[in-house]
Amino acid sequence: MYEIVMPQLSDSMDEGKLISWKVKEGQKVDVGDVIAEVESDKAIMEVQSFKSGVVAEINAKEGDVVPVGKVIARIQTSESKNEKVVKTSETAVVEKPVAKQAEPIPKTPVVKHLQKKETGGISPKARAKAAQYGVDMQSVLQKTAKDALHVKDVEAYLREHYFTPKALQLLDRYGLDLAGFTLNHKINEAEVQEFIDKNETPLPQPLSQMQKAIIANVTASAQKPVYRLYEHIDAKLFVEHDAYSITAWLIKIFAKVMMQHEAFRSRLQNDALVISPNASIAVAVADKKNLYMPVVKDANKCSIAEISAQLQSFKTKLKANSFTAADMQGSSFGISNLGMLGVESFDAMINKNDSGIAAVGSLQDGKISLTLSADHRVINGYEAALFMQDLKKEAQNPLQFKD
């Protein structure tokens, strides 16, 4: 374990004040990373790590006054995972299990010694940033009541001193760096816009919560062991009973077949296989920006009219953006239909913990293409093949198309 102690910054120093931490417990650090700032009676110093590892312990709070030599943090290094820390009466040493030789306490690293000024101290990075732009640090110090100046204080000074408020708004909107501009005059909005146009700077668009949720869902889905079966079902009865949509009929048929194959009513949850007593099916509902998977609950108990009514309510909620979390829960299988948009065939991502999903393509030559994506942890290929056989039979069963 690599230990970092309160450094002795001068001969007269016997304790120091911890100004701020730059790392948190559990955070990975590399050699040279600044981990803290400490203050003596004369200076503010940045303390950096001489070893790479993970911050295992932080033993002092910001504002604490700590005796010189006392451990303020410990770094778990790769070579110290099997080491045991042994403390002597005066200090701590590291005993390696093989060599059994005490490892000298690592010297506390210090980046740079900075003299504290009347109004406060200046971090090395802040001084470097000021030097980069030719800023007089006294000008920055006069703008703040802080005891210590950091690089962000210098950047704040540059922004205020060289940009108009509207120029700053544009700067932030496009995420532009100050280094792209010559800071020798007051820069207005028009000049920033000229920079954007000249450099064809793209406008970053923050992700909505919905977009973040979709990304998380499909990313998790991509980690699943998925295989696919490609089939076509006879569309004759779907065409003859077009008072209801193909999606509505498919939900009714899938629900019946799912009741014959419990794996399709199953989902993995907390290292257990949960089998639902009924067939609840998530249906992809989307517009240009959003994608939802509301659930037709207990679809095996619903009439075709009730299923159709639920699909209509999903469309209404999509327009009003009024879906609730409860609308999205309870499914074990999903259906995504892009056939009405002319897509002949495709495959879909499995929703959340569902066992599988069917991608429905367009009606071509009296048939509808189906792509079954199944989670191999829940459904094996043989059972999936039997499921598709039963599905094709039910699609040709006139009794299925009675209201």
Could you give the 3-state DSSP secondary structure of residue 46?
strand
What angle in degrees, to the nearest 10, is found between the helix axes of 151-162 and 124-133?
30
- CB-CB contact of 9 with 45 (8 Å): yes
DSSP structure string for 112-165: EEEE-BTTBEE-HHHHHHHHHHT--HHHHHTT---SEE-HHHHHHHHHHHHB-H
Question: What is the value of pTM for the model shown?
Answer: 0.59
CA dist., res. 167 & res. 317, Å (int): 40
Could you give the 3-state DSSP secondary structure of residue 70?
coil
Residue 387: exposed, middle, or buried by beta-carbon count in 10 A (0-12, 13-18, 19+)? Answer: buried
- CB-CB contact of 369 with 232 (8 Å): yes
Q: What is the dihedral of CA 21, 27, 30, 34, to 10 degrees?
A: -10
CA dist., res. 305 & res. 288, Å (int): 28
CA dist., res. 329 & res. 256, Å (int): 20
DSSP, res 265: G
CA dist., res. 304 & res. 327, Å (int): 19
Residues 258, 262, 267, CA angle at the centre, nearest 5°? 100
DSSP, res 351: P
The token pair at 341 is 């948009």
Residue 383: C-alpha distances to residues 233, 258, 300 (Å): 18, 11, 20
- CB-CB contact of 69 with 8 (8 Å): yes
Per-residue pLDDT of the chain (403 residues; tens, 9 = 90+): 878 888 766 555 677 778 888 888 888 888 778 888 777 655 567 777 778 888 888 988 887 888 878 888 888 887 655 554 444 333 333 333 333 344 444 444 444 444 444 445 778 888 888 888 888 887 887 777 776 788 888 899 999 999 999 999 999 999 999 989 999 899 999 999 999 999 999 999 888 877 788 888 889 888 999 999 999 999 999 999 999 999 999 999 999 999 999 999 999 888 889 999 999 999 999 988 788 999 999 999 999 999 999 999 999 999 998 999 899 999 999 999 999 999 999 999 999 899 999 999 999 999 999 999 999 999 999 999 999 999 999 999 999 887 6
The token pair at 307 is 């299923």
Q: Where are the alpha helices (DSSP H) in 163-288?
A: 165-173, 189-199, 209-222, 236-240, 246-260
Question: Buried (b) or exposed (e) across 47-73, using 16+ Cβ within 10 A?
Answer: bbbebebbbbebbbeeeeebebbbbbb
